[in-house]
């Protein structure tokens, strides 16, 4: 595994739409391993492809002992709403309150291409939304409710 450099706002890479992953090979596995290591080292709860300069639909999320790797994630169901603080490893030293669904269901593939689905609530649901937004070139402060 290796640490990757984290792309910082306003680098235009963060505003690009990512392409789907089509090849599930060792290179994808290494990318996900590196993203996990980079996220942990940076003390983050999530990291998406564009944040390490890769314009593919991949993201990792880690909240306490919960860890997940998303390949080609799609939010297929949401319920309720929550407002809470968010920050981003690509936008240092800033945070703001963002409105998100309270519960989300995400369909995705694992690193081997297997179709999976996960449902989460609260902070983990927030992290899912934040990371999946990155894959569409969106940053959390686009949605800030209050500073
Ligand atoms: Zn972020």
CA nearest to 90, candidates 19, 138, 29, 122: 138
* Active-site residue set: 131
pLDDT of residue 31: 98
pLDDT of residue 145: 77
pLDDT at 128 over 70: yes
Question: Residue length, the chain?
Answer: 147
| Alpha carbon of 142 to ligand 1 centroid (Å) | 12
* Per-residue pLDDT tens digits for 36-78: 999 999 999 999 999 999 999 999 999 999 999 999 999 999 9
* Per-residue pLDDT tens digits for 5-38: 999 999 999 999 999 999 999 999 999 999 999 9
| Alpha carbon of 88 to ligand 1 centroid (Å) | 4
| Alpha carbon of 112 to ligand 1 centroid (Å) | 25
How far is the C-alpha of 61 from the C-alpha of 90, rounded, in Å? 15
Q: How far apart are the first and last CA of the chain?
A: 37
| Alpha carbon of 134 to ligand 1 centroid (Å) | 7
pLDDT of residue 34: 98
pLDDT at 135 over 70: yes
What SS3 class is residue 120? strand
Split at pLDDT 50, 70, 90, the class of 105 is: very high
Split at pLDDT 50, 70, 90, the class of 146 is: low
């Amino acid at each position: 595994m290796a640490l990757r450099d984290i792309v910082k706002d306003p680098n235009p890479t963060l505003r690009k739409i990512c392409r789907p992953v089509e090849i599930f090979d060792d290179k994808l596995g290494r990318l996900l391993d590196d993203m996990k290591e980079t996220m942990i080292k940076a003390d983050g709860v999530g990291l998406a492809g564009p944040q390490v300069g890769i314009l593919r639909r991949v993201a990792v999320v880690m909240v306490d002992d919960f860890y997940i790797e998303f390949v080609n994630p799609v939010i297929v169901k949401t319920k309720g709403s929550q407002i809470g603080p968010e920050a981003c490893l690509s936008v240092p030293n800033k945070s703001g309150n963002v409105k998100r669904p309270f519960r989300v269901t995400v369909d995705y593939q694992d690193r081997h291409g297997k179709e999976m689905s996960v449902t989460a609530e609260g902070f983990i649901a927030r992290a899912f939304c934040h990371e999946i937004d990155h894959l569409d070139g969106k940053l959390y402060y686009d949605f800030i409710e209050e500073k």
